[in-house]
């Protein structure tokens, strides 16, 4: 009876990686990026059947706070390789005044703004940098509009790695400055995130940099998925009716769905009911919304994307098929909101309940208001919004001219 001790013996129970498209297996103890045959993301698999026997939620609850208390379900073999700044265990907050105003009493907001470097990106980057360190990577590169680059810069500094960021010129100034302070090399690109990605990819191949673009390596998703574990734990191993998530690269939504799959396999959920997922995009760059309207299985490239919410300015996610698959499977939907609505709800939430969300986080509130008006969300449903970052980061954008748009 190897399991009779009811204790885990390995730091991780990762088994391998598989292509999200063709299912081909890849090793998790060597550097792998994405499936070259399918040009599709790799997904990490764990020995969930064994963990179901030997790991209990109470053990995880008793550990010191933070994302790494879920280490059996994260990809790192040795604890000494964990590069951490205290990410995870973000607050799940009620929005009493906002709830009352829009008649939705069971409303919660998972506030990711208090992660290191002020955004949810810390989770994925912590996992990916830790695994990269374990596999011997010494220089990392990323195309980024702001948050992700800044976060990579600080984690790379902490890991003692070189860091290079390809950023659109329109990226928020504070994020670029914080990246420079952490010693990263910044290359400003006259174009969108997609152009930055192309140039970063070229440099990576030419000079041997490891590319941490969303879904172009398998482990940022693993850090991100822990949001789903924390949510289920906070809701006493139930899940809400609806989850509204701002969607650029899509790791948040895909990570949540992966967490729910894993939680089901672990036998930890008290319910088989899954939430309906809502992907929120900006009207000026809404490839997922367009694809979902046609029930397409992938996105067209969105040309000339434009929105003040830089995290939403992603013309085509590398994981578009995964995002759309999870949306459809959840009976969810995708919603585009205007920049005016984003700015207006940012201010509204700040005044109402004292949370100053990122523009991307504010977009989830704007989408909520729309979906209530469309009766897609019923007043009694439990809805969870995600504020992905601190509004402070875009303070300049928050004061951009805003036509008199009033929500509700």
| Residue ranges in contact with a copy of itself by CB under 8 A | 61-62, 64-66, 84-86, 89-91, 93, 96-97, 111, 114-118, 153-160, 174, 177-178, 181-183, 234, 346-347, 350-356, 390-393, 395, 398-399
CB 315 → a copy of itself: shortest distance, Å?
A: 28
Q: Which is nearer to a copy of itself, 118 or 168 (CB)?
A: 118
CA distance 386 to 100: 19
Burial class (CB in 10 A: 0-12, 13-18, 19+), 295: exposed
Q: Which is nearer to a copy of itself, 97 or 203 (CB)?
A: 97
CB 279 → a copy of itself: shortest distance, Å?
A: 25
Backbone Cα Rg of the chain: 20
CB 171 → a copy of itself: shortest distance, Å?
A: 14
CB 356 → a copy of itself: shortest distance, Å?
A: 6
CB 382 → a copy of itself: shortest distance, Å?
A: 18
Coil, strand or helix at 185: strand
Q: Which is nearer to a copy of itself, 154 or 200 (CB)?
A: 154
CA distance 102 to 379: 9
Tokens 């992700």 belong to which residue?
Answer: 148
CB 383 → a copy of itself: shortest distance, Å?
A: 19
Which two three-digit tokens encode residue 291? 């694809």
CB neighbours of residue 138 within 10 Å: 14
Tell which residue, 389, 337, 344, has the closest CA to residue 368.
337
Distance set, CA 192 to CA 101, 199, 293 (Å): 37, 11, 24
Q: Which is nearer to a copy of itself, 157 or 269 (CB)?
A: 157
Q: Which is nearer to a copy of itself, 14 or 153 (CB)?
A: 153
Q: Which is nearer to a copy of itself, 154 or 192 (CB)?
A: 154
For residue 17, the 8-state DSSP code is: E
Q: Which is nearer to a copy of itself, 197 or 349 (CB)?
A: 349
Q: What angle do CA 73, 197, 213 make, to 5 degrees?
A: 5
CB 194 → a copy of itself: shortest distance, Å?
A: 27
**HEC states along 35-48?**
ECCCCEEEEEEECH
């Amino acid at each position: 009876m190897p399991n009779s001790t009811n204790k885990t013996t390995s730091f991780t129970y990762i088994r391998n990686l598989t292509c999200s498209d063709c299912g081909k297996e890849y090793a998790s103890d060597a550097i792998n990026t994405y499936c070259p045959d399918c040009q599709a993301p790799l997904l990490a698999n764990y020995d969930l059947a064994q963990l179901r026997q030997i790991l209990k939620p109470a053990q995880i609850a008793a550990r010191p706070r933070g994302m790494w208390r879920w280490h059996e379900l994260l990809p790192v073999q040795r604890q000494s390789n964990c590069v951490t700044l205290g990410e995870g265990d973000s607050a799940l907050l009620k929005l009493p005044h906002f709830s009352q105003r829009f008649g939705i009493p069971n409303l919660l907001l998972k506030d990711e703004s208090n992660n290191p470097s002020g955004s949810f990106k810390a989770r994925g980057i912590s996992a990916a940098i830790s695994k990269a360190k374990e596999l011997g990577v010494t220089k990392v590169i990323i195309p980024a509009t702001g948050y992700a680059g800044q976060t990579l810069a600080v984690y790379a500094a902490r890991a003692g790695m070189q860091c290079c960021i390809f950023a659109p010129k329109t990226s928020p100034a504070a994020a670029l400055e914080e990246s420079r302070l952490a010693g990263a090399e910044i290359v400003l690109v006259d174009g969108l995130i997609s152009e930055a990605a192309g140039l970063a990819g070229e440099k990576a191949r030419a000079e041997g940099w490891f590319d941490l673009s969303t879904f172009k390596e398998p482990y940022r998703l693993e850090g991100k998925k822990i949001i789903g574990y924390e949510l289920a734990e906070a809701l006493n191993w139930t899940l809400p009716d609806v989850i509204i998530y701002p969607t650029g690269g899509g790791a948040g939504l895909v990570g949540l769905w992966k967490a729910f799959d894993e939680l089901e396999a672990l036998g930890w959920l008290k319910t088989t009911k899954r939430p309906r997922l809502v992907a929120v995009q900006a009207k000026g760059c809404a490839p997922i919304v367009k694809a979902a309207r046609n029930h397409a299985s992938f996105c067209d490239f969105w040309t000339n994307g434009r929105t003040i919410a830089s995290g939403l300015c992603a013309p085509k996610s590398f994981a578009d098929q995964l995002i759309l698959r999870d949306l459809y499977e959840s009976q969810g939907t995708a919603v585009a909101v205007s920049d005016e609505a984003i700015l207006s709800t940012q201010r509204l939430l700040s005044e109402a309940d004292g949370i100053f969300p990122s523009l991307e986080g504010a977009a989830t509130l704007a989408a909520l208001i729309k979906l209530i008006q469309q009766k897609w969300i019923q007043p009694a449903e439990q809805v969870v919004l995600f504020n992905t970052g601190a509004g402070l980061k875009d303070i300049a954008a928050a004061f951009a001219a805003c036509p008199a748009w009033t929500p509700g």
